[in-house]
Structure 1
Amino acid sequence: MEPENPDYTAQLAYPVTPVRVRGDLDPALSRWMWLVKWLLAIPHYIVLFFLHIAYFVLTVVAFFVILFTGKYPRAMFDFNVGVMRWTWRVEFYALSVLGTDKYPPFSLAPNAEYPADLEVDYPERLHRGLVLIKWWLLVIPHGLILGALFGGGATLVMQSDDNWASWATVPLIFFLLLVALIALLFTARYPQGLYDFVVGINRWSIRVQAYATLMRDEYPPFRLDQGAREPETR
């Protein structure tokens, strides 16, 4: 009997996810440019505001098309993936990773030259009944975890002169980025382990977004796949 192929077995046990997120760390990040990148990205925020309105409308339309036909119209799918891709590049540049100083392109298309990109495999068929519950009920467990990662953190309590207290929750992702930026400021290096963790959080969020907005039927894994690139096998 021939020995089992370990690579083949691994692929069966850990299939490659249909949602793939890439974020390559810029090895020559500026010590100070992170102070202004959020400001430089304002033109992107304006465009993305309108793109996300279109994204929402097309997702609603896709809901009914999938419900009756089991298919996600390809043109709408490609557009919405493009919006996700554009958003990820801006987040990678200026908001939730700060992993590059290279200004994001104003484009929905994939770009192998830019440090951040994503792909979502087009599904030939989607489950018609699943569309009724996956966008809200089935994503609740993921929402709780991601809420802790993005919304959880330290609670700051402030006492006023009138003897009443106010508080605000500072997201965990903010603290992670703060530590990274302090290290960048003094060492000119983004700590690799911290970077991998931050990208992993964003990757998890993007996978859940693709599922919740009806792009795939495969349930997102409860897994923090860290690092710049997707593992080749799962």
Structure 2
Amino acid sequence: MSAETPPPPPPTSSADGSYPATFGFDPPESIARWRVIGNIILAIPHFIVLYVLNFVAELLAFVAWILGVFTGKVPEGILGIIALYIRYSTRVSVYAGFLTEEYPPFTFATTSADPGDYPRVNVGFAPETEGRNRLTIFFRIILAIPHLIVLGLISIVAFFAYVVAFFAVLFTGKWPVGLRNFVVGLLRWSTRLNAYMYLLTDKYPPFSLE
């Protein structure tokens, strides 16, 4: 009898769960040692797909920016494709970073809620279409600069965390819990910031890994 597929983890975001971009991760108890190198090689097809999706998402984000500034509205269809890109990117980051062994599916659902087809990772959104804040949309990149600076600094620390985790998984088959929580927190923060920068929401993201 095959083991049951674990249910999707509950989406988690800020402490009160109110931010309209959520990232949940259900970590496995152990990771095969070869995954520290194997995952990033196996993820190459996804990197190719992401290259295309990134181009599409940036183009649509520019269209959304123009529509948001001049009309205060952004079509749901545009936001759905952007949500697809951020979700896809986050899933690939989790896999390539050898946090899980499950291979991400080549699926392209444009729903705001996570479709639940990648059990250990849940990335959901509550995009805003009407009544958008034109002023914050106009200055979106400028407003995001503090987050970009802080995340840039945290990413340096994350690099060394991945180096330590690389050897930990290579020799023990397990992530150190503290390092894993730190990396997952960084992914959560990045997911929120991407949702904000790509205009899924006008709500300013918190400076938090939780």
Q: TM-score, normalised by structure 2?
A: 0.85
Structure 1, residues 12-71: CA drift from partner, whole Å, max 9, x if none? x94611110112212231112221111111111111111111001101111111112211
Runs of 4+ in 1 over 3 A off after TM superposition: none
Query: What is the aligned residue count?
Result: 190
The SS at the match of 2:24 is: strand
The SS at the match of 2:96 is: helix
Report the residue type matching 2:154 in the other structure.
L
Matched, 1:204 2:189: yes
In 2: Cα distance, 1:77 partner to 1:198 partner = 27
- Counterpart of 2:134 in structure 1 is 128
Closer, same or farther: CA 192–65 of 1 in aligned 2, 3 Å: same
The SS at the match of 1:21 is: strand
Alignment map for 1:152-163 (pairs within 5 Å): none
Q: Percent identity?
A: 36
The SS at the match of 2:133 is: coil
What is the CA distance between 1:127 and its match in structure 2? 0.8
Matched, 1:145 2:147: no
**Higher share in helix:** 2
Alignment map for 1:1-234 (pairs within 5 Å): 14=16, 16-95=18-97, 98-109=98-109, 110-114=114-118, 115-124=120-129, 125-134=131-140, 136-150=141-155, 171-225=156-210
Structure 1, residues 79-126: CA drift from partner, whole Å, max 9, x if none? 11011111111100003xx21011110113334252123111021431
- Counterpart of 1:8 in structure 2 is none
Q: TM-score, normalised by structure 1?
A: 0.76
What is the CA distance between 1:189 and its match in structure 2? 1.6
Partners of 1:180 and 1:191 within 8 A in 2: yes
- Counterpart of 2:6 in structure 1 is none
In 2: Cα distance, 1:197 partner to 1:172 partner = 10
Report the residue type matching 2:116 in the other structure.
A
Report the residue type matching 1:179 in the other structure.
V
Partners of 1:85 and 1:108 within 8 A in 2: no
Q: Which has the larger radius of gyration?
A: 1
Gaps of 5+ in 1: 1-12, 151-170, 226-234
Partners of 1:23 and 1:99 within 8 A in 2: no
Report the residue type matching 2:152 in the other structure.
G
- Counterpart of 1:6 in structure 2 is none
Gaps of 5+ in 2: 1-14
The SS at the match of 2:23 is: strand
Higher relative contact order at CA 8 Å, sep ≥6: structure 1 or structure 2? Answer: 2
